[in-house]
Structure 1
Amino acid sequence: MSFGGQTPTIVVLREGTDQSQGRGQVLSNINACLAVQSTVKGTLGPYGGDLLLVDENGRQTITNDGATVMKLLDIVHPAARILTDIARSQDAEVGDGTTSVVVIAGEILREIKEHVEQGVSSQVIIKGLRRASTMAVNKIREIAVNTAEANQRDTLLKLAATAMSSKLIHRNADFFTKMVVDAVLTLDQEDINEGLIGVKKITGGALQDSLFVNGVAFKKTFSYAGFEQQPKSFTNPKIVCLNVELELKSEKDNAEVRVEQVSEYQAIVDAEWKIIYDKMEACFKTGASVVLSKLPIGDLATQYFADRNVFCAGRLASDDMERVCLATGAKVQSTCSDIREEHLGTCAVFEERQIGGERFNFFEGCPAAQTCTLVLRGGAEQFIAEVERSLHDAIMIVKRAIKNRSIVAGGGACEMEISAYLHGYADEKVPHKQQTIIKSFAKALEVIPRQLCDNAGFDSTDILNRLRVEHRKGNRWAGVDFVGQGVANNMEKFVWEPALVKINALQAATEAACLILSVDETIKNQESQQPQGPQRGLPPGAAQRALRGRGRGMPRR
């Protein structure tokens, strides 16, 4: 129905709602994602730099770990946030390659930006990208080398060393690769739960002072008077683990007990003491030399056990208690009245030792050891925290490599081989307009070796040309040689990565690019708009402002 030949304006959305749509919106989203890419691409590779991130509370984090950067960046642009979420999924799924996902996804968007500007439909581009991604993944599976028959430990050491090559600890890679592989091989190989690898951080000392404990180690718990009289070392001790409080408690608030005479009051007091003494005697009669509890063990119990040459520790953290039970075979008891022989655990050696400025309890030589502990040393807290992040990535790589024995060469070799394959395939077998999309995808993959060269200070144009020539000759594992500043066979140089990491990174990057391209309208409610957020039709220069707190060494203003 019309009024005077004019269609009436229908207001559906609340006044003040921001609507951005069309090609300009897609380009705005691409620019925001390129801003995220430019933030993290400098951290890629063995010579990548670190980022100093300062949060709103002034807490500093120095890292080049992609997952940590994505977590700490305060991003307000909704499309850029999609990219960071998909990148973090790579960390959850594989544990490494987060930076690669962001860099590849950003470069795919950069390459197809020209097609968007020329008016090519987003759906045509998405279809082409998905086709290219499928062919790339199939090619990786085809060229991957199976290491099932090789020495497993040697393969895992080389994979862990490659994962650490871009980390802060790469100078001590030999020391830490052995530690990481030993840690993962300690776990149950059917269900490798990396959460059972305890990590304890102690400031002071050198990196080489870090320890691998084939068992459990934890910081000395809160202790009462009489603790120093307890023995601090046992051989083949019996261990009892409790979830029981061995402490005299004051009455609850507003508690009331009415008594007629003093003897009745004394009977109540005696009953309280009898209860706790019965608990302590029950623990002692088990023959246990070490008593651990999640709940407090008070001064009375501490002195009682000290007089009988028994070690006790209360207020033990739940994760430490879980790992002690796994390692020693003990079972947590919620009562002291029925502790049997099969509920006790044991280990070869229990010892309390001084590590730096802290005292630690060590349970070593455990019979059922399906857990271990890494005690990390270093000069500053931020330094040790970055070491922990580096080891986490290496542990995840080793974990995936045990379950998936296929490997490829790193240093940009895999990406260059796929790029050369896709260029040839597009020229021969894709006659229509999807050819340019596949070629753009192939060109985008070259960003990995190019960025590796840029971060190392090499001539990226020269090395990329040499890599293209080598791959056209059929040298599929030719990649960037960081030692000789040129080109080398990275499979022979033992620069290895699990094929799963490459496959997952490509799939995640393609998924991120397709998702961002499919968004051609953004509706923001007035309440959810933030004054720092990007404006409609964001130009490339202004895209950088979509990141709050970005910048190396620059605190957020």
Structure 2
Amino acid sequence: MTQLKTNGHDGEEAYATLLNNANAIRAICSAVEGTLGPKGVDTMLVGAAGEVIITNDGVTILEKMDVTHPAARLLIQVARSQQQQVGDGTTTATVLAGALVSEGVAQVTRGVPVAKVVRGIQEGVSEALKLLAGRIRQIAGVDDPLLYRIAYIAGREHEDLAGLIVQGAKRLGAAKLREEHFRFSDVVLSHSRAANEVWPGLLIQKKPANAQIDFPPDTANVLLFQDAFEPEAIDEEALMTDAGFQKQMQLREQFRAMLEKLISLRVGFVASERGIDPEAEQFCTDHGILLVQRMPRAELRRLAEYTGARPIRRSGLRKPAAELAGYLGYAGHVAYDERLECVRVAEGKGRAQVSIVVGASTSEIVGERLRIARDAASAVQAALRGGCLPGGGAAELAAAHELERHRETVQGMEGFGIAAVAQALRKPLSQMIVNAGYNPLEKVEEAKAAQISAGSDSLGIDCDTGAVIDMMEHGVVDPAQVKLHALQAAGEVASAVLRIHTVIKMRQPRSEE
């Protein structure tokens, strides 16, 4: 066993490990905190081969950074969790986690036992979550004007992207957006040769398998295969025998006969999860049937939902035509778009779908616009599901003040941990003020005094003028889920980091000779 920190003086070594971890987390936070708020700036990521990504997206920066420190990797897990669960607010989650660690370390180095600080942070985070949850404003529906503001703020003030996202949300409807397993951000696509567009259907980013792809747009019955669109196969060993070879030829003859059912059923579009037999490809090309192969299962499922098709196995072609008809879907428009290299499907008879296309002049810019649009889509969906809160750090500042009052009622040293949470809650507003070029100490206190005087949790600082404004009146709002999940995840990682007393390198597994 190799111990990275020797046990000379236990207290000093505990602080050394803690400070080492805190410094690593501080370095990670410094890479993303400059992007926070309306005056946040971009970060340029440069790869080993000279590839460049210019982005304002926190999770992209953290995912692409070359990070080896184990504590720093814990912080990156916060951003990853925020992205997976909510889809937006990764920078806020990272900044909050960094602030909690920093404030917790300050209390420990003052002599407060780690266990007391951690327990206080956990209690403080729990209380802060209740305080924020009690301030949530609900979104009336897809026509609520606040929805555009949420898309605008999360979309970093790109009016065109905010408009696209809201238009797409209205086409889908609130019920679809509130479905547990539906991710609105997944319908956002990008292309350097495309103009911004909301397509009322699906855009399948695949080239057709047909040699001839210039079929005119048409209505189509839709047939979907969960496996390959080819004859059933027999075991390779059996194929080496005469009986096996004859069986294989028989299966191919049956397959040819089954293809004729596509004509009688008026099938115009076939998609398969795996490959397509060359003979089937030629047959479909001759009869004007569009073919798409090797579709990801998730895309195949979306196509099935939209067209009302029920995917089958290749053996399903044996069913009588009348029975097979029950597995077909329908689309009023199916065509290949050569410019965007995708298949356009519209007027499906199943559940509503929409595709949002984001365009730009270069591949680097279109990639960033795609990230921004997906953040906006995630924010809109989160707001419809869980309501919204005043943005610009105002809600967190109000919660911090209430938490300070709660701390006064707590006996014991856990109060120091609660104080750390209250101080960390001010960090998002403080960082946005710094990024806007103002004095954070002065402006945070000014906003706090204004909130207490007016009894309002929506007063904050205008990053353009430095004046105190009502965030709700000016349309500066954030999804409640973004803030709640960010604070919860930040509290968990801060507690984990503060508990680390010693770092030990694990031995490598021995290779067996």
- Give the shorter-chain TM-score range: 0.7 to 0.9
Aligned partner of 1:472 among 442, 452, 456:
452
Q: Closer, same or farther in 2 for the Cα pair 1:462/1:119, shift >3 Å?
A: closer
> Which residues of 2 match residues 396-415 of structure 1 at below 5 A?
396-405=378-387, 407-415=388-396
CA contact (8 A) 1:200 1:373 kept: yes
CA contact (8 A) 2:196 2:357 kept: yes
Distance in 2 (CA, whole Å) between partners of 1:472 and 1:189 is: 35
Shift of 1:18: 2.4
Distance in 1 (CA, whole Å) between partners of 2:504 and 2:232 is: 61
Aligned to 1:122: 114
The reply to whether residue 201 of structure 1 matches residue 190 of structure 2 is yes
Shift of 1:170: 5.7
Distance in 1 (CA, whole Å) between partners of 2:411 and 2:180 is: 48
Secondary structure of the equivalent of 1:22? Answer: helix
The reply to whether residue 343 of structure 1 matches residue 327 of structure 2 is yes
Aligned to 1:286: 265
Shift of 1:41: 0.7
Shift of 1:507: 2.0
Distance in 1 (CA, whole Å) between partners of 2:165 and 2:185 is: 18
Secondary structure of the equivalent of 1:144? Answer: coil
CA contact (8 A) 1:200 1:218 kept: no
Aligned to 1:375: 357
Shift of 1:295: 4.1
Aligned to 2:471: 490
Shift of 1:488: 0.7
Aligned to 1:238: 221
Distance in 2 (CA, whole Å) between partners of 1:431 and 1:483 is: 42
Distance in 2 (CA, whole Å) between partners of 1:515 and 1:373 is: 41
Shift of 1:414: 0.7
Q: Closer, same or farther in 2 for the Cα pair 1:131/1:75, shift >3 Å?
A: same
Aligned to 1:6: none
> Which residues of 2 match residues 110-509 of structure 1 at below 5 A?
110-147=102-139, 153-165=144-156, 169=158, 172-180=161-169, 182-183=171-172, 185=174, 187=176, 189-194=178-183, 197-205=186-194, 209-225=195-211, 227-228=212-213, 231-235=215-219, 237-242=220-225, 243-246=227-230, 256=240, 274-297=253-276, 300-334=279-313, 335-338=316-319, 339=321, 340-355=324-339, 358-405=340-387, 407-426=388-407, 428-430=408-410, 433-473=413-453, 474-509=455-490
Amino acid at match of 1:74: D
Q: Closer, same or farther in 2 for the Cα pair 1:279/1:444, shift >3 Å?
A: same
CA contact (8 A) 1:184 1:192 kept: no
> Which residues of 2 match residues 28-177 of structure 1 at below 5 A?
28-56=20-48, 58-147=50-139, 153-165=144-156, 169=158, 172-177=161-166
The aligned length equals 495
Amino acid at match of 2:422: A
Q: Closer, same or farther in 2 for the Cα pair 1:277/1:494, shift >3 Å?
A: same
Shift of 1:370: 4.1
Secondary structure of the equivalent of 2:343? Answer: strand
Amino acid at match of 2:433: C
Shift of 1:433: 4.7
Amino acid at match of 1:104: L
Runs (5+) with no aligned partner, structure 1 = 1-13, 260-264, 529-557
Distance in 1 (CA, whole Å) between partners of 2:419 and 2:250 is: 84
Q: Closer, same or farther in 2 for the Cα pair 1:272/1:504, shift >3 Å?
A: closer
Give CA-to-partner distance per residue, 1:146-165, whole Å, 9 cap, x none.
Answer: 445x7754343332223223
Shift of 1:434: 4.6
Q: Closer, same or farther in 2 for the Cα pair 1:370/1:436, shift >3 Å?
A: same
**Percent of aligned positions that are identical:** 24
Secondary structure of the equivalent of 1:212? Answer: strand
Shift of 1:104: 1.6
Distance in 1 (CA, whole Å) between partners of 2:465 and 2:139 is: 27
Secondary structure of the equivalent of 1:125? Answer: helix
Q: Closer, same or farther in 2 for the Cα pair 1:329/1:511, shift >3 Å?
A: same
Q: Closer, same or farther in 2 for the Cα pair 1:183/1:388, shift >3 Å?
A: farther
Distance in 1 (CA, whole Å) between partners of 2:163 and 2:46 is: 32
CA contact (8 A) 2:222 2:329 kept: yes
Distance in 2 (CA, whole Å) between partners of 1:360 and 1:193 is: 22
Aligned to 1:523: 504
Q: Closer, same or farther in 2 for the Cα pair 1:245/1:444, shift >3 Å?
A: closer
Q: Closer, same or farther in 2 for the Cα pair 1:177/1:50, shift >3 Å?
A: farther
Distance in 1 (CA, whole Å) between partners of 2:296 and 2:118 is: 50
Secondary structure of the equivalent of 1:231? Answer: coil
TM-score by length of 1: 0.79
Runs (5+) with no aligned partner, structure 2 = 7-12
Q: Closer, same or farther in 2 for the Cα pair 1:123/1:345, shift >3 Å?
A: same
RMSD over aligned CA atoms reads 3.4
Secondary structure of the equivalent of 1:120? Answer: coil
Q: Closer, same or farther in 2 for the Cα pair 1:351/1:122, shift >3 Å?
A: same
Give CA-to-partner distance per residue, 1:461-481, whole Å, 9 cap, x none.
Answer: 442232122022023211122
Distance in 1 (CA, whole Å) between partners of 2:185 and 2:139 is: 26
Q: Closer, same or farther in 2 for the Cα pair 1:429/1:224, shift >3 Å?
A: closer
Q: Closer, same or farther in 2 for the Cα pair 1:218/1:412, shift >3 Å?
A: same
Distance in 2 (CA, whole Å) between partners of 1:487 and 1:314 is: 57
Give CA-to-partner distance per residue, 1:312-347, whole Å, 9 cap, x none.
Answer: 444444333222211111122323221422111112
Shift of 1:280: 2.0
Distance in 1 (CA, whole Å) between partners of 2:367 and 2:123 is: 41
Secondary structure of the equivalent of 2:111? Answer: coil
Secondary structure of the equivalent of 1:289? Answer: strand
Larger Rg: 1
Aligned to 1:4: none
Amino acid at match of 1:311: L
CA contact (8 A) 1:132 1:422 kept: yes
CA contact (8 A) 1:291 1:313 kept: yes
TM-score by length of 2: 0.85
Shift of 1:278: 1.0
Shift of 1:211: 2.2
Distance in 2 (CA, whole Å) between partners of 1:196 and 1:283 is: 35
CA contact (8 A) 1:160 1:180 kept: no
The reply to whether residue 512 of structure 1 matches residue 501 of structure 2 is no
Q: Closer, same or farther in 2 for the Cα pair 1:525/1:289, shift >3 Å?
A: closer
Q: Closer, same or farther in 2 for the Cα pair 1:300/1:134, shift >3 Å?
A: closer
Distance in 1 (CA, whole Å) between partners of 2:182 and 2:404 is: 41
Give CA-to-partner distance per residue, 1:239-261, whole Å, 9 cap, x none.
Answer: 22234435899x979965669xx
